[in-house]
Amino acid sequence: MIRTGILTVSDKGSQGLRADEGGPKIRSLLPADCYQVETAAIVPDEIPELVNTLVEWADRKNLDLIFTTGGTGLSPRDLTPEATEKVIEREIPGMAEAMRREGMKHTPLAQLSRGIVGVRGETLIINLPGGLKAIEEILPVILPAIPHALEKIKGDSSDCGR
C-alpha cells in the first residue's frame, strides 16, 4: 500500500468558508487496492504552514506520497510551488510536464499552472491544480508512474525500461 497524504491549499477552505472538493476528488480517484490515504488537511496559502505540513508528513509521518491541491496558479496568494521548492531535495520535471501536457489537451489555460513534483527523503510530493476537472484529467495520466517512482526513490537499483 502506498501511504498517502492529501493537502488542500485554500485560504477560504482553511477558514471554513468553502467546502474542500479537491481533496475528496483526489481520494475518489485513487485505486483503493494500492493507495491508503492516511491523512488529509486544509491549510491556508501561507508558505510557513505549507512547509511545516509537508515536512511533518514526509519526515515524521513517513508518508510515501503527498498530493497537494490548489495554489498552483498565478494569483498572488498561489504559493504552493514556492513552498514545495523549499521542501524538496530533487525535482521531477517530467511528471509536472506530463500534467501540463495533458491539461493542454483540454484547455490552453493549463500552461499557466506552476505545479511542481519532487522528492523529499523517500516521499514523493505532487502539486495538483485545485480545479476538479483538472484533477480528473491529470491524475489518471500520472498514477501509472507513481509506483515505479516510489520504488526508485526508496532505493530499487534494478534497471529501468527492461
The predicted model scores a pTM of 0.95
- In this prediction, residues 60-72 reach a mean pLDDT of 97
Whether 82 maps to a domain, the answer reads yes
Q: How many domains does the chain have?
A: 1
CATH number, position 59: 3.40.980.10
Higher pLDDT, 160 or 153: 153
pLDDT in tens, 107-125: 999 999 999 999 999 999 9
What is the rounded distance in angstroms from the CA atom of residue 145 to the CA atom of residue 159? 15
In the chain, alpha helices (H): 11-14, 22-29, 47-55, 80-87, 93-104, 132-142, 146-153
Cell, residue 31 = 485505486
pLDDT tens per residue, range 20-45: 899 999 999 999 999 999 999 999 99
79 occurs within a structural domain: yes
Helix, coil or strand: residue 108: helix
The answer to whether residue 158 sits within a structural domain is no
Does pLDDT of 159 surpass 80? Answer: no
Distances (CA, A) of 17 to 10, 24, 76, 133: 10, 17, 19, 21
Q: 160 in a domain, yes or no? A: no
Residue 159 forms part of a structural domain: no
Q: Could you tell me the residue range of the domain that residue 13 belongs to?
A: 2-153
At 16, the pLDDT band (50, 70, 90 cuts) reads confident
Residue 161 belongs to some domain of the structure: no
What's the rounded Cα separation, in Å, for the pair 68 and 9?
Answer: 7
- Domain annotation covers residue 11: yes
By C-alpha distance, which of 43, 114, 126 is closest to 74? 114
Among 75, 119, 125, 117, residue whose Cα is nearest residue 100: 117
Q: Which positions ≥6 away from 75 have C-beta within 8 Å?
A: none
Nearest to 2 by CA among 128, 126, 130: 126
